[in-house]
Structure 1
């Protein structure tokens, strides 16, 4: 079943309509060594919007602030794009000024200062969606939720969300927000792709139960699923930390492994059968997962973005989905594997046949 960027989906338990693929803008700016210059970033932005896309993802410290500044230029009065038609999502908690202990973290001072700075850079008076970017293990959840709710009441944020946090903390926060009448979390951003599937243990089931739309980042595993890496890279010596290329970054993180390359091989096989690119197949697998709302696309050139958008047109057969699932499957661990086993089924249900509608 083919999709388009203007086949909108609801974000979590909200009425907010977003495109099935979000445009990630961590590549807007060259401060990190592999991004797009201003004019190229503008072409990426225009291509996405002209195709009907409305869901833009950034963060307060992406490319040292250039990502937000460029988006503010593109969506401003002289940018030619109607700000009101877009869903702008940004994030807070990462350190904004090294040496200043309160310029990062999840606490109220960091939250309010970061939001004000993002509003200035984005050239807007409100944010459609604000994520807590990274869990800091120190700030009380009530402080986070009350601060977010205060900003919603002030009209500076419309919806709140969370990323990179333990499932039990997220579910606890959602329960507290519900009980106290504070703004609920509507989205969960996690790394999720055919190589990184550990979110299936607790994070994704939690999100579905608690009403958070899953917005996966790195749906191509940093490019590993595109087929750009080979076994030669397993012994490469140019992946030292601090390298300025995306390849160096992935090698330093240990993303290129024998297991991951084996998964990428299956992706390439399926792509060849369909006459598609490996990137389109990897994205299509994530895109068609019923737990997922909108994977975040990162691209450096319009050609890359155009190719990735082709994932909307990929139809994977049941057999192909099974092969991809089999190549990348992980153990869910305790208690999930135990609860799914035949012994537990026998001792809890016996020969009963119970149909679940969930």
Structure 2
């Protein structure tokens, strides 16, 4: 595998690299990358054959989109690049730090038609383009009817301002309902979902992954290294006083749990036996899941991106893969447990019957 081992994203004709370049770090001088460093990261990704660039209207208060647009224009590679950006978070709030400004305009956020058109027009200006290849609802606002979201985004596909759209950070039923409405009404529907997924965040396997498979949606994991935890940069003995993972992020210190430290210990052992860095092994594990269309990775240095790309050529042996799976197995609730191999064997007379797409 490499960045040029292209694949279709979901049940669509959009062809993407297995690793998408996340640009939340672009333009963030405090904990991210300045313009020169961002350009070096962009160039390295493109030189390696990567074609999926992911940004959002709120990243660095719009600076990320401006830099991405500038780099694409300078490279003259707009037709080769799958440009991905997002809407939904209000400009008066910062989801990475939790800071919110009272009295902000409620119609400058969410998934209502008014804000989608406002946000898209603003993103197009910053990116210096007249269309977006993959437009994401950044988060479900819990208010806008799914029918309105599908109608608005479908209309934008039909007029050519966006080519495809996807849904990020939403309950599985929201993605399934959106896909069903689109299919029944014969209108453009979502082609992918974005969810947190890694060795320490596997709960989405229970509902989101089956829903995505049924609806033909590609899965694009974010934070496959759990904010750096799976790289080995944090140790139980030296986290006192840090309070959170480094850099602005919505994870806080939630990853510092006894369960995660145990998973990290197994990952460290497997990585040592394989003679590869922990981050590469963790990322290779995520990439090995057949439901994954492309995995989002970010970087503030070229060296970090280079190490992430190396994971595409790493094959984890069956024994090591099983150890990682056992150590990180998600807690199964009642509904998800109904799909267990044991239940299936009970239904089919003791036989291991494979379903479609498995």
TM-score calculated relative to the size of structure 1: 0.92
- Secondary structure at the aligned position of 2:173 is classed as helix
**Consecutive unaligned residues in structure 2, runs of 5 or more:** 93-100
Instruction: Label 1:307 to 1:351 Cα distance change in 2 as closer, same or farther (>3 A).
Output: closer
Whether the 8 Å CA contact 1:250–1:256 is kept in 2: the answer is no
RMSD of aligned alpha carbons = 1.8
1:144 corresponds in structure 2 to: 149
**CA pair 123-284 structure 1, distance change in 2 beyond 3 A:** same
Q: Distance in 1 between matches of 2:223 and 2:350?
A: 43
1:38 and 2:35 matched: yes
Q: Of the candidates 100, 112, 116, which is equivalent to residue 111 of structure 1? A: 116
The one-character-per-residue Cα deviations of 1:308-356 (angstroms, maximum 9, x if unpaired) are 111011111000000100110012211232452646743x333566454
Distance 1:96 1:254, change over 3 A: same
Q: 1:120 aligns with which of 101, 120, 125?
A: 125
Deviations 1:232-273 (CA, angstroms, capped at 9, x unpaired):
245x12327xxxx72685783422222212212221222112
CA positional deviation for 1:153: 1.5
Partner of 1:23: 21
CA offsets 1:16-64 (integer angstroms, 9 cap, x no match): 1100110000010116x31100000000000000110001111110111
Aligned match for 1:214, one of 219, 227, 234: 219
CA distance in 2, matches of 1:271, 1:120: 45
Match of 1:188 among 185, 189, 193: 193
Does the Cα contact within 8 Å between 1:239 and 1:249 map onto a contact in 2?
no
Task: Look up the SS of the partner of 1:129 in the other structure.
Answer: strand
Q: Is the 8 A contact 1:29 1:37 kept in 2?
A: yes
Question: For 1:113-134, what per-residue CA distance to the aligned partner results, in whole angstroms no more than 9, with x for missing partners?
Answer: 0000010111100000001111
Question: Is residue 2:194 matched to residue 1:197?
Answer: no
Partner SS state of residue 214, structure 1: strand
> Structure 1: which 5+ runs fail to align?
none
Superposed, 1:1-358 pairs within 5 Å as 3-30=1-28, 33-76=30-73, 79-97=74-92, 98=101, 99-234=104-239, 236-239=240-243, 246=246, 252-340=252-340, 342=342, 345-346=345-346, 348-351=347-350, 354=353, 356-358=355-357
Cα displacement string for residues 275-307 of structure 1 (whole angstroms, at most 9, x for unaligned residues)? 211110000000111111111011110011111
Look up the SS of the partner of 2:107 in the other structure.
coil
Q: 2:39 and 2:344 mapped to 1: Cα distance?
A: 56
Partner SS state of residue 335, structure 1: helix
Counterparts of 1:157 and 1:189, CA distance in 2: 18
Secondary structure of residue in 2 paired with 1:282: helix
Query: Residues of 2 paired with 1:297 and 1:352: CA distance?
Result: 40
CA distance in 2, matches of 1:92, 1:247: 22
Q: Are 1:229 and 1:256, in contact at CA under 8 Å, matched by a contact in 2?
A: no
Change in 2 beyond 3 A, CA 1:344/1:312: closer
Instruction: Provide closer, same or farther for how the CA distance between residues 273 and 339 of structure 1 changes in structure 2, counting only shifts above 3 A.
Output: closer
TM-score w.r.t. length of structure 2: 0.92
> Residues 192 and 217 of structure 1 are in contact (CA less than 8 Å); yes or no, is this contact kept in structure 2?
yes
2:304 is paired with a residue whose SS is: helix
Query: Cα distance 1:254–1:156, how it changes in 2: closer, same or farther (>3 A)?
Result: same
Tell me the SS of whatever aligns to 1:252.
Answer: coil
CA–CA separation in structure 1 for the residues paired with 2:121 and 2:158? 15
8 Å contact kept, 2:344–2:353: no
